[in-house]
């Protein structure tokens, strides 16, 4: 087993255990791990599998925000590189939601290239989920608001990776066509 394969398997196992009881907000309520796997796959495709740490971070990117995982735990399990990537894309949940979203837009352009790649993969996966299984309680206005916010964050990621930018653009256009954004 290669080091990259072992790293991926460890990250998948960690993410699956931490997110075991979580479901997506969509009508089909798919397991949350599906989102993490999709983000990781998008990163693997964009890098040709050559950045194992980024691919693993795709599986772990929501662990601090959405589970009892800590940055220290991620660093102990996966090292400082992956922990730094996860920290770079983690929102401070002590800040109100609206302010967190505003700060994401404001600061995304200053993030590392790899963090921007992770953000693009995350938003692309979220947009595809909105297309395939939109949250039942989201009004058309709420969907358009999300699309506008996703666009603003993605604009701050320009130049990070052409493959991920193209994937985001395709998903965003499909959502915009469907929801009138």
Q: What percent of the chain has pLDDT over 70?
A: 99
The answer to whether 105 touches 152, Cβ cutoff 8 Å, is yes
Please identify which of the residues 30, 45, 65, 81 carries the catalytic annotation.
65
pLDDT in tens, 69-99: 999 999 999 999 999 999 999 999 999 999 9
Average model confidence (pLDDT) for the chain?
A: 96
pLDDT in tens, 136-148: 899 999 999 999 9
pLDDT of res. 48: 97
Please identify which of the residues 30, 45, 66, 88 carries the catalytic annotation.
66
Q: State yes or no: is 77 an active-site residue.
A: no
pLDDT in tens, 108-130: 999 999 999 999 999 999 999 99
pLDDT in tens, 49-68: 999 999 999 999 999 999 99
Q: State yes or no: is 65 an active-site residue.
A: yes
Q: What is d(CA 164, CA 144) in angstroms, rounded to the nearest whole number?
A: 21
Q: What is d(CA 44, CA 46) in angstroms, rounded to the nearest whole number?
A: 6
Tokens of 129: 């989920």
Provide the whole-model pTM: 0.96
pLDDT in tens, 20-45: 999 999 889 999 999 999 999 999 99
The answer to whether 44 touches 117, Cβ cutoff 8 Å, is no
Tokens of 170: 């395709």
The answer to whether 108 touches 116, Cβ cutoff 8 Å, is yes
Domains in the chain: ranges and CATH: 3-179 (1.10.3210.10)
């Amino acid at each position: 087993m290669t080091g990259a394969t072992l790293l991926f398997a460890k990250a998948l196992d960690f993410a699956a255990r931490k997110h075991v009881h979580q479901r997506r907000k969509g009508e089909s309520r798919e397991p949350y791990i599906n989102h993490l796997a999709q983000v990781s796959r998008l990163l693997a495709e964009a890098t040709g599998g050559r950045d194992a740490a980024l691919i693993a971070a795709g599986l772990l990117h929501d662990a601090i925000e959405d589970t009892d995982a800590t940055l220290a735990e991620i660093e102990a399990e996966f090292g400082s590189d992956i922990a730094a990537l996860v920290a770079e894309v983690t929102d401070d949940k002590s800040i109100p939601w609206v302010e967190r979203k505003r700060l994401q837009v404001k600061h995304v352009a200053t993030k590392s290239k790899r963090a921007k790649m992770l953000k693009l993969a995350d938003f692309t996966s979220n947009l595809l989920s909105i297309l395939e299984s939109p949250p039942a309680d989201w009004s058309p206005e709420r969907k358009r608001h999300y699309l506008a916010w996703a666009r603003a964050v993605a604009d701050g990621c320009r130049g990070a990776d052409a493959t991920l930018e193209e994937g985001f653009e395709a998903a965003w256009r499909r959502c915009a066509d469907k929801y009138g954004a």
